[in-house]
Structure 1
């Protein structure tokens, strides 16, 4: 029998249970109201069909629970499944009807940030992209694999069965270590030539097609086809970019500054055309890592972008023979060797004779013979060679060391004798020009988004002339030497798929010596100058392929020890895709240069290579500074290409001795500037295997010498109008190109004959560059054919003819007083006459 106290306690428990049961029933709520409350509280949206939730009532979850906890609660209380998509959308299915889904988040392995607009490719060729959170989903069905890709990242292939469909895992993409260059066009002027978003032209010699007059991808001859690039005397040692002198261009071979760029005193490039892998040419907007230049930059790299097999090739033409070999020492190392030598020691071809006549006209070599008329004898020897060596070694998976060496040499020996009025006169002349260089570089990929490069380099240049005469027993020696060495440090950081930045430090030391020694009478002068500079560089790049914006800005801060002077050099490159076919580009830069070439006397070094390198002294020889701005419009559609660029450029700190005057300014020493503005245009059309293009350049280029009586007059290197046309046909292994070049004549200064006394002539001139030479016009053709045997050996034969019409083009004109006739004579220099060339090459 229950006691009253126990009975009371049991009665109270029964009442409480009944009360709780009544309360539970009273809290039942329609399911639709519950999910509406959850949507408001957690800012989400439920997707469902009314049939799945009709009439469903349950007790609501506590408001204090998280969203995930509430979904788990609802799933336990119902026969429903809940799919949470990025805490934004929640799909509701019947448990027995819910399709199996594949989902995930695509994340950058570099910065752990989501990758929006990543491409998801399914086996049935269905494609879609990730959202701003990097999220994607699709119904699994029979799709067992899919691919994720995005510009700037390594694509990844995923097996769906390995993914947890409930938790939507994170999938990491690794950035591409190799920087991607956005190419505007795959073929400009010829196959193997392209243009980047940063405004630079890229030449791939191993993919090079053909250009009129060229049968080999000579870097410096090829760049003269680009609008705005000329050589007024047909020399690769006198390339003028937008009115600048040759020495204002920076030429780099594997990071080594080259002070000699031409063999045969300018008619052939010193860079072996069968060696280079990539040639980058900047007319404006160059990287802040390029210094010591107020005009263009030509950077040549012989380092392959990808691993290549062992190769060997040898070739010969009517000027030189060469060999090239690459051998893989192991999976991580290789050696590359090239060598080239003139064949003039063995045979004088028609090509050599035309080159010789072009180079030595109006020099002391030909003056000697022209001034003698009896018993004249001459014995000459001329030759050149160049050789390169590359050794590359990978250490582990992150480090690589590369050693590059180059040697270049031209040598001329001329012995001349003549007997005049029983007097014997002879001259023994030696002219040598050479450039040696070396670069040791180390590169380390710390991880997928951080790379460091360090390189040490040296470049040594020498120009030596030695003249011995029997008459007067005189010896004249002239020597110009340059020694340039330094260190570069560069760090590259990839922040995300769109943004990267670099920073670095550069130290450069340049020493230049000029020597003049004469016997009988004795004279000796030797001047050596050394300049050391330090540079801090920072540069950032933003490249968004979705919004079609490319922006690169950099700053270079130079410090010159000797002058205790800072020079800031900002650079900018901005490109915007107005549409799929139309691109707008803005380029700008401020640059400086501490070394330059001058001419003391036109007959120095026999008048053949009369320029010598000197260093700025910050007073009579100022530091040259340039500023340049250009606006470019680039259109490409249906194999049509239109490229129009307007530019403005000003270079201050130039000297009259650096401009090659042969008029009243030849012996005037003053400083000033030049200012040039103009338009460059290229129109190109490709029709199947046929490519044709037309280019036009207009520029107005003026000197400003404020301390001279005529402070403003046309620049020596002004070509007001330049037109070029080419038609190129390439099919299978046969290529042929025909083209013409036309330009208005360069400026010249005419004598003022009204002031000249014929009995005692002294030259009086009109205003500097008051008139122009005749129009320059030339037609060129070239063709190549390549075939391969069954055992894999390739053969290539080429033929070219420069100046097919044999037009006599005048490229310079000046006046002097003849010592023989005591009268004023006009001295004309002409371009190459009709010049054939034939080449043959074998590769395996």
Structure 2
């Protein structure tokens, strides 16, 4: 009778405390409990439960409350303040599990990372706590533990992507995780989300960008990145808004920027926003994390070249610190990877005479080499609307290289020191809900000291190149309404460059200094239709350029970036820009066996080297449906005001300083198919890149970077905690200039004799082919400590690709042919821990 009454009273929810009072009356018992433990809890007992034991068991399971029977009349109820909880994190936009999301118990030093199925479990945590679930690219979510306990099993938790308001085909996630094509046609790399690419076991920033169509390095380095046929000095590389004049370690084989502190990388090939000046080929913008960490986190690791550490420390809720440091082990540890890199930088070349006989001189080589980089950032929030950020970076390369020709008993020594020190401060302010500003001030100094001692110290050459830059940049953003916004800004940049050359035999000394100041106001209107059928950015940059010694020039640079929907799953983009730059690099390859790192920065003077200007336009179509993407883009680019001394010529025009231009016409294609655990893509780029020099015969000939066809095929696969990737790279050979055949190839009327060359770039190197593979395994060491181990192999087939070929006259008045070759088969392993 009592059971029936209890069931009838519980057909609707009621407070747990009230229900317990009912049970006391119905079953003639007494409960002892603390009101605060049960206050606010409600329940509905299923009608099929009639006995007291069933009801108490239901309450225990539902609320994690322990019921203890003292005797036939008295019971105690106590809450277990620590509980176990589990869940599965899903992307409610793509309906996929989110692997690697951080699940943190607020107020406690407890956190977990979701596994490959998006699942997590937390043991012995406070039942009144809240969970913070976060992952880059998604809105951070907060969930009460109590709410999860009231659901059956391990409930699903949905994370909202930042792009959930956009059409399905508006933002493209392709190649591997962490690479996104944005609505303005820029490419974003989120290093924390980064998956895997062929040959890479760490997200090296400047190696990763070369996976994108239209971006390659003709000599396999990160210090010579060629974007749509441009030279490396035509790329604007920014780190936290600071222009970088040094980008590589180990003669360009390794990026100088620690990827584990870098939060986001943005690449523009065209349609650049008006706030970016300089860099007529591209913009590569790197940004470290911009929010104060909620808890201490960091990590470290090593590979066969270097080791590094990084950390984020929250000092308080308003003050945080980030830092990273990396140093090579090359000066005390010789590894297979190091040996291959050394061969690539110095020894992997072949010298033959004009009669094809190989020069078989025996050389003894010894090198002492190391590099390091350090970066840090201080984050201080004055309040929610005003935030100060201070960043600093120091990059260093140091080399001593000694080469002895045994047969000639002659020793050459080269010393090289390369430093980049940059400091910058930013003030980010939200003045109203509609108006914000960003002030950026920085100082940057790059210094290169190079000393060559030839022929047993008979001749000594010293070269110094120093770049000093100060800048003030102010950007404002005003939101007119949901569709229109307006950017305005002003930039002042002062760049000073000094070049010193001293030779003792014959006695020669040259010191050249120059300063260029640029005043650049700009404006840009941004529009986005309510349903994203059309978005556009139209702006202009107004450059007043002053070289204190020679010229003053005004340049107008319009920019346009349009994206619109053609049909379901199909969008088109129209991009265009005018750009200019006043800094270039002189390339003296013939006298410089140390390669790219001894390129010297110089300033435009509007005489021997004018301001370099570019015009570029492109049209693209993108299709994306069911994780299948096709993108095609055609472009035309003209760059005027280039010099033969900055283009890497290795023929009579290397030192002539002729002024001209180049034109590039090209098409880029990317096809990408993704699944839950795989991604496969095929990219193709066609470029026709031609020089025009009025004072050279013929006036038009192929560019030194004229790579007509480039093809990449690659695939990644994830199985639980194992990531695998393999890729094939193919491209046609680069042009080079051959001497006239026979005895006429050497002109004996000069002393020393000179080489008579055929038409510029009349021949091409053999085709280039390389296969790479990589694997990464992730595992958990402890609750807080995660780790991964990686293995990569570059050039699996050990193919001997010719990267460069040029000619010189030796001391016996014979023409020598020098061929430089690519990396051979190069393994690398890594181990990292993160917490």
- Shorter-chain-normalised TM-score: which range? 0.7 to 0.9
In the superposition, the TM-score normalised over structure 2's length comes to 0.76
Deviation at 1:426, TM superposition (A): 3.6
Task: Name 1:437's counterpart in structure 2.
Answer: 422
1:336 to 306, 311, 322: 322
Task: Name 2:110's counterpart in structure 1.
Answer: none
Partner Cα distance (1:265, 1:379) in 2: 16
Partner Cα distance (2:294, 2:522) in 1: 33
Task: Name 1:843's counterpart in structure 2.
Answer: 834
Task: Name 2:248's counterpart in structure 1.
Answer: 262
What SS class does the counterpart of residue 284 from structure 1 fall into? Answer: coil
Deviation at 1:397, TM superposition (A): 2.4
| Structure 2 spans left out of the alignment, 5+ residues | 1-138, 141-161
Deviation at 1:783, TM superposition (A): 0.6
2:340 to 351, 354, 358: 354
Deviation at 1:471, TM superposition (A): 3.7
2:242 and 2:422 in contact (8 A); partners too:
yes
Task: Name 2:489's counterpart in structure 1.
Answer: 504
Deviation at 1:778, TM superposition (A): 0.5
Task: Name 1:400's counterpart in structure 2.
Answer: 387
Task: Name 2:788's counterpart in structure 1.
Answer: 796
1:831 to 813, 822, 832: 822
1:633 to 616, 621, 624: 621
1:372 and 1:418 in contact (8 A); partners too:
no
Partner Cα distance (1:561, 1:694) in 2: 46
Deviation at 1:590, TM superposition (A): 0.2
After superposing on structure 2, the runs of 4+ consecutive aligned residues of structure 1 that deviate more than 6 Å are: 177-183, 362-367
Task: Name 1:777's counterpart in structure 2.
Answer: 769
1:215 to 201, 207, 214: 201
Deviation at 1:428, TM superposition (A): 3.7
Deviation at 1:825, TM superposition (A): 2.3
Partner Cα distance (1:608, 1:224) in 2: 18
Residue 495 (structure 1) aligned with residue 475 (structure 2)? no
Q: Deviations over 1:522-569 (max 9, x none)?
A: 322111001111000111100114251101011100101332321011
2:351 and 2:359 in contact (8 A); partners too:
no
Task: Name 2:272's counterpart in structure 1.
Answer: 286
1:695-714 matches, cutoff 5 A: 695-714=683-702
In the superposition, the TM-score normalised over structure 1's length comes to 0.75
The 1:818/1:417 distance shift into structure 2, 3 A limit, reads: closer
Task: Name 1:567's counterpart in structure 2.
Answer: 555
Task: Name 2:80's counterpart in structure 1.
Answer: none
Q: Deviations over 1:23-53 (max 9, x none)?
A: xxxxxxxxxxxxxxxxxxxxxxxxxxxxxxx
Partner Cα distance (1:225, 1:501) in 2: 33
Task: Name 1:464's counterpart in structure 2.
Answer: 449
Deviation at 1:731, TM superposition (A): 3.3
Choose 209-218 or 543-552, whichever is displaced more: 543-552
Deviation at 1:775, TM superposition (A): 0.7
1:686 to 639, 656, 674: 674
Task: Name 1:748's counterpart in structure 2.
Answer: 736
2:345 and 2:595 in contact (8 A); partners too:
no
2:324 and 2:374 in contact (8 A); partners too:
yes
2:252 and 2:596 in contact (8 A); partners too:
no
Deviation at 1:393, TM superposition (A): 0.2
Task: Name 2:524's counterpart in structure 1.
Answer: 539
What SS class does the counterpart of residue 587 from structure 1 fall into? Answer: strand
Residue 481 (structure 1) aligned with residue 479 (structure 2)? no
1:613 to 598, 601, 610: 601
1:363 and 1:607 in contact (8 A); partners too:
no
Partner Cα distance (2:667, 2:629) in 1: 17
Choose 463-472 or 764-773, whichever is displaced more: 463-472
What SS class does the counterpart of residue 774 from structure 2 fall into? Answer: strand
1:763-774 matches, cutoff 5 A: 763-774=755-766
Q: Deviations over 1:596-652 (max 9, x none)?
A: 001246214755534211000112201000000000100001221000000000000
What SS class does the counterpart of residue 221 from structure 1 fall into? Answer: helix
2:746 and 2:755 in contact (8 A); partners too:
no
Deviation at 1:699, TM superposition (A): 1.2
Residue 275 (structure 1) aligned with residue 261 (structure 2)? yes
What SS class does the counterpart of residue 567 from structure 2 fall into? Answer: coil
1:581 to 569, 589, 594: 569
Partner Cα distance (1:608, 1:573) in 2: 34
Partner Cα distance (2:489, 2:164) in 1: 17
2:508 to 517, 523, 531: 523
2:215 and 2:227 in contact (8 A); partners too:
yes
Deviation at 1:499, TM superposition (A): 1.1
The 1:185/1:360 distance shift into structure 2, 3 A limit, reads: same
Partner Cα distance (1:726, 1:757) in 2: 44
CA RMSD of aligned residues (A): 2.6
1:556 to 536, 541, 549: 541
| Structure 1 spans left out of the alignment, 5+ residues | 1-153, 156-176
The 1:440/1:472 distance shift into structure 2, 3 A limit, reads: closer
2:163 and 2:171 in contact (8 A); partners too:
no
Task: Name 2:184's counterpart in structure 1.
Answer: 198
The 1:398/1:547 distance shift into structure 2, 3 A limit, reads: closer
1:184 and 1:194 in contact (8 A); partners too:
no
Residue 380 (structure 1) aligned with residue 376 (structure 2)? no
Q: Deviations over 1:43-92 (max 9, x none)?
A: xxxxxxxxxxxxxxxxxxxxxxxxxxxxxxxxxxxxxxxxxxxxxxxxxx
2:806 to 814, 820, 825: 814
2:707 to 719, 729, 732: 719
The 1:194/1:308 distance shift into structure 2, 3 A limit, reads: farther
Partner Cα distance (1:492, 1:642) in 2: 34
Partner Cα distance (1:288, 1:260) in 2: 24
Deviation at 1:724, TM superposition (A): 0.4
Partner Cα distance (1:372, 1:830) in 2: 17
Task: Name 1:226's counterpart in structure 2.
Answer: 212
Count of residues paired in the alignment: 665
1:652 to 617, 640, 650: 640
Residue 296 (structure 1) aligned with residue 282 (structure 2)? yes
What SS class does the counterpart of residue 629 from structure 1 fall into? Answer: strand
Partner Cα distance (1:219, 1:757) in 2: 44
What SS class does the counterpart of residue 578 from structure 1 fall into? Answer: strand
Deviation at 1:416, TM superposition (A): 4.3
1:364 and 1:607 in contact (8 A); partners too:
no
1:499 and 1:543 in contact (8 A); partners too:
yes
Deviation at 1:841, TM superposition (A): 0.2
Partner Cα distance (1:382, 1:189) in 2: 35
Partner Cα distance (1:313, 1:366) in 2: 49
1:360 and 1:608 in contact (8 A); partners too:
no
Choose 808-817 or 179-188, whichever is displaced more: 179-188
Deviation at 1:771, TM superposition (A): 2.0
What SS class does the counterpart of residue 224 from structure 1 fall into? Answer: helix
